[in-house]
Structure 1
Amino acid sequence: MNKIQIIVASALYALSGLIQAAGLPGPIVSTDWLASNLANVQVLEVTGQVKSFIKAPEFEIDKKTGKKMLVDAGGHIEGSHLLNSKDVRVERLLDGDKTKFLIPEQADFQKLIQSVGINSNKPIVIVPIGMDMSDVDEGLRAFWQFKVYGESNIAVLDGGLAGWLAEGRAFSTAPAPTAVGNWVAQAANKDLIATTAEVVQASKSGNIQLIDSRQPMQYLGINKKPDVAGFGHIPGAKNFAPELMSRSVDGALYFLKPVTYAAVMEANGIKPKEPSISYCNTGHLAAGSWFIMTEILGNKSAQLYDGSAYLWTKQGNKLEGVPLN
């Protein structure tokens, strides 16, 4: 090997090392990994509690152990961008009818993500608050929409902001960046989105399993959310409740191991590797079961029913549940 070849080989080796360092280890990253790679990624906090972004977190001292405990998450990881989860889903025309809670059109989602300063060709790490499965699902809903529009270099922080803070890591209360990014959305991957017609067919045939991602009281029809025009679940659906999707450590929620998720699903009559459609009330909590199925268990035949029970009942379809007084 001559001198020029040695120089070129060394340069390529160094470049490959940089690329590997900047890449994501998988769909979930730990706080240790993120702390070591902050310069190589874009951190995107997704929350509806936007005021907490510039408010200091609250801690208290456990009187028995003397340990500093997180009471309320606040602030953000240094350099984070802020995405209001209330802007992630929109009202738009569907079959000529105004319908809420839907994924934005390609151009609108691209504009939203650019407006919070996210760029193309650099890994994105989504950070939910991480204290309740509902706020974790805010981040996972955004993750699903990124996937629909072609983003593959993306992950979620295990434990979220709460886990970061509970470990005593540094935080900032500076305002969110105002620079506009250049992130580009690709054509929608419709394989990730289930339509009402597909859900009707799945309900009738049983060939595709339906996963209801709500709490048991809503699944059974004992109570309901105002946006859903009926009590109970889509006929044939199995329940995978939010409280089964994570474990709590020092006030922060963490994902379970794949083998644990598989066992929990089997116990609820759900086949982890079979084609599935996740839904909830409006398409928010369903992102949790979709993420677990697709990104943790590797089931690439999983879909999310956008609009969920709200859309199902809006279009005149029936739910079933337990008898009510």
Structure 2
Amino acid sequence: MKTLVAGLCTAIFLAGSAASALALDVPRPLVDADWLDQHMDEVVVIDVRKDPSTFTKTGHIPGARVVKSGDLRTKRQVNGLTVDKMRPDQATFQANMRKLGINTDSAVVLTNRGEKASQVVHSTLLYWQLKYYGFDNVAILDGGNAAWDAALMDVSHDPAEAPEPGTFVAKAPREHLVATLPEVEETVEYGGPQLVDTRNLDYFLGLKTKSYVYAPGHIPKASVLPYPFMTVDDGPAVFRPVPELSAIAQYLGVDLHEPMIVYCNSGNLATANWFVAHELAGNMAARLYDGSMHQWTQEKGNPVARTIN
């Protein structure tokens, strides 16, 4: 009898331990290298890069899985026009995450090279997409691999291995996280949430433009809050403290705590500002205009403000 009771207790303990391991919840939107090091066996680390070939060249967090940032976006047909660099549909996103070995009960930590803001946005893009499709157990490694290196953690140069397919399920889209073209048009014409252009000033002013943006300048009534200000530029690109970010935004005429629609050239860079407003500052009324200037300038008749002709 004692043996039976002991066996049952052991089974219950092991089951409880397994459940606890599976039930790890990331504590906050940003985690640091020490936290990740302590929980490496309990999380899935996804390294998002523009060029996956650097995964082995520059090194990576041991056990991390790599994904090309460009593979996270696709073309969509909207109002008879082909809009590029958009979020994938539900089925495609689910397949992408399963290919990375993410399960429904996974705890996910996203990382990037972490040397500058333009690398950090690769993580905020996937973070926004995961949230959009109903997955909440996700965090970003603050400062990415640069912060991991600075903490003198182990670095691997092993090639990426294909993980076992995961069981990830993409849920119904959270449409309140995205702003559509008609909603932006309505805001321009009648007023509404703050429109925040997150590009660098030369793009906002119309001095420079991308090949897939068909008119220089910005959406009328928009304020500018360049995405590089979201992170520090000395050492690993960690996010600035919220009070400092709020002060920067306020100086540029943006209130981080009021309803806003953020955009950029194609819906990538702006995810850094969305992450700051929605996840760090707690602004639940912050939305991403996924189509951004690429879609806006495709639509005939949409006005573009150019500060310098």
**TM-score (ref. length: structure 1):** 0.87
| Displacement after TM superposition at 1:19 (Å) | 6.0
- Offset, 1:11: 5.5
Query: Residue 137 of structure 2 corresponds to which residue in structure 1?
Result: 153
1:181 to 166, 174, 184: 166
Structure 2 unmatched ranges of 5 or more: none
Answer yes or no: is the 8 Å Cα contact 1:92–1:99 preserved in 2. yes
Q: Which amino acid aligns with 1:94?
A: V
Mapped pair 1:241 → 2:226: yes
What is aligned with 2:256? 272
Q: How far apart, in 2, do the equivalents of 1:122 and 1:109 lie?
A: 16
Residue equivalent to 2:31: 29
**Residue number among 291, 294, 305 corresponding to 1:320 in the alignment:** 305
Is 1:126 the counterpart of 2:110? The answer is yes
Say whether residues 1:89 and 2:73 are aligned partners: yes
> Do the aligned residues in 1 keep the contact of 2:99 with 2:166 (CA within 8 Å)?
yes
Question: Cα distance, 1:249 vs. partner?
Answer: 3.9
CA distance in 2, matches of 1:78, 1:182: 23
Q: Counterpart amino acid of 1:209?
A: Q
Letter matched to residue 255 of structure 1? F
The residue aligned with 1:168 is 152
Distance 2:288 2:75 in 1: 17
Number of residue pairs aligned between Structure 1 and Structure 2: 299
Tell me: CA distance 1:268–1:20, structure 2 relative to 1, closer, same or farther (3 Å). Answer: farther
Counterpart-to-counterpart distance in 2, 1:111 and 1:17: 26
2:196 matched residue in structure 1 = 211
Counterparts in 2 of 1:110 and 1:309: CA distance versus 1, 3 Å: same
Q: Deviations over 1:244-281 (max 9, x none)?
A: 1111343x101111111111111111112111100000
Q: Does 1:308 align with 2:289?
A: no
Aligned equivalents of 1:50 and 1:109: distance in 2? Answer: 19
Return 102-111 or 173-182, whichever deviates more: 173-182
Following TM superposition, the consecutive aligned residue runs of length 4 or more in structure 1 with deviations greater than 3 angstroms are 14-21
For residue 54 of structure 1, what is the amino acid of its counterpart? T
- 1:221 corresponds in structure 2 to 206
Give the drift of 1:21. 8.3
Aligned counterpart in structure 1 of residue 50 of structure 2, from 48, 51, 61: 48
SS class of match (2:153): coil
SS for the counterpart of 1:254 is coil
Deviations 1:82-103 (A, max 9, x none): 1110100001222333220110
Matches within 5 A, 1:7-18: 18=20
Task: Output aligned runs, 1:57-136, within 5 Å.
Answer: 74-136=58-120
Choose 18-27 or 82-91, whichever is displaced more: 18-27
Q: Does the aligned pair in 2 maintain the 1:130–1:163 contact within 8 Å?
A: yes
Aligned to 2:180: 195
RMSD over equivalenced CA pairs, Å: 2.2
TM-score, normalising length from structure 2?
0.91
Q: In terms of mean alpha carbon deviation, does 140-149 or 201-210 score higher?
A: 201-210
- Contact 1:53/1:76, CA 8 A, preserved across alignment: yes
Q: How far off its partner does 1:22 sit? A: 2.3
Deviation string 1:11-40 (CA, Å, 9 cap, x unpaired) is: 69x759946982211000001100111111
| SS state at 1:323 partner | coil
Paired residue for 1:261? 245
- Alignment equivalent of 2:125, drawn from 120, 124, 141: 141
Residues 117, 177 of structure 1: 8 Å contact kept: no
